[in-house]
Homo-oligomer: A and B are copies of this chain.
Amino acid sequence: MNFEQVTIVGPGLLGASLAMALRARKVCGRIVIWARSSERIEQCSGKEWCDQAEEDLARAVSGSSVVVVCTSVASISSLVSEIMRHTSEDMLVTDVGSVKEPICTSAVESGRGASGAFVGSHPMAGSEKSGMVHAKADLFEGKPCIITPQDDTPEVATQAVRAFWEKLGMKVYSMNSGEHDRSVAHLSHLPHLVSSSLAHCLNAIPEEWKKLAGRGLMDTTRIAEGDPGLWEQIMAMNKSHLLDSVSELENSLKLARKRLENGSPDEVREFLEIGSLFRKSLGNRDK
């Protein structure tokens, strides 16, 4: 066993998958799940990845070496703030939010004078499906995880959070929270908005065309299916970086239109070539 006890705050897709993975990989002795409603508590009780289900946050974190907040991104800051009041010496608090700067900034405030330490995490694993029902033990395996320690984060806490995700099979990278938010605006939030916008405009096509949808359309619109409530929160929290990346996309699209309208075949081909080479440079990491 590597950690005595871990508390997971919020048993959704990520939280429940995390609990399954902790159990499967024997990363900790006990797993405590906190959930907001007694209905959820009941759903978790008796699951083999849940040793204790708690509605009371102070009781849920008590005695844990690691607390991972896995609720929706907009609710993480206030939960972290409450958890910091109940931390004990050497307790590590982290989260799974896909936007980091607002969460880390607020955690610095709420963590002042606390016994434990907060370090932000973003395990880049997910799905267009959400909820406990889609949870699976291998969700995190082989995926990247970004940790975002602040300048004043104790080194021991940074090491602990890195070790935690590595034990779950993730590739851990460290970055400051601002660079994190800029990078995911480009790599995740912009692709989502592009996919959604494509699906949004295609909503007007004749119903009988849908049977002609091929793999290209299915691929480009797959993530558009993701939970609109979750994605609204993510986009709102990372609005300024996202809008910057939208401007870059608009510039590329404008150039594509201009070359299609008036450019030579070579100019159109060169535009497509840049995109093709970029995609090739990402390699082939499909599962």
- Point out residues on A near B: beta carbons under 8 Å: 124-126, 143-144, 146, 171, 173, 183-184, 186-188, 190-206, 209-229, 231-233, 235-236, 239, 242-243, 245-246, 248-253, 255-257, 260-261, 265, 268-282, 285-287
Contact = CB atoms under 8 A, between A and B. Distances in A.
Copy number of this protein in the oligomer?
2
B188 A274 contact: no
B236 A197 contact: no
B224 A279 contact: yes
Contact of A253 (B225, B229, B246): B246
Contact of A232 (B246, B269, B282): B269
23 contacts: A124-B214, A144-B211, A183-B212, A188-B214, A192-B216, A194-B220, A195-B216, A197-B253, A198-B275, A199-B278, A200-B271, A201-B252, A202-B278, A213-B285, A219-B219, A222-B279, A224-B278, A228-B269, A229-B269, A232-B269, A233-B265, A235-B268, A246-B260
A126 B215 CA distance: 9
Contacts of A257: 243, 246, 250
A270 B222 CA distance: 18
Given A220-B194, A243-B257, A282-B218, A212 B146 contact: yes
A209 to B, nearest CB: 5
B212 A249 contact: no
Given A197-B275, A203-B275, A220-B220, 6 more contacts: A187-B209, A194-B194, A196-B272, A197-B256, A199-B278, A228-B270
A190 B219 CA distance: 13
B209 A183 contact: yes
A56 B261 CA distance: 38
Contacts of A281: 210
Contact of A124 (B144, B195, B212, B255): B212
A26 to B, nearest CB: 27
A191 B198 CA distance: 7
Contacts of A232: 265, 268-269, 272
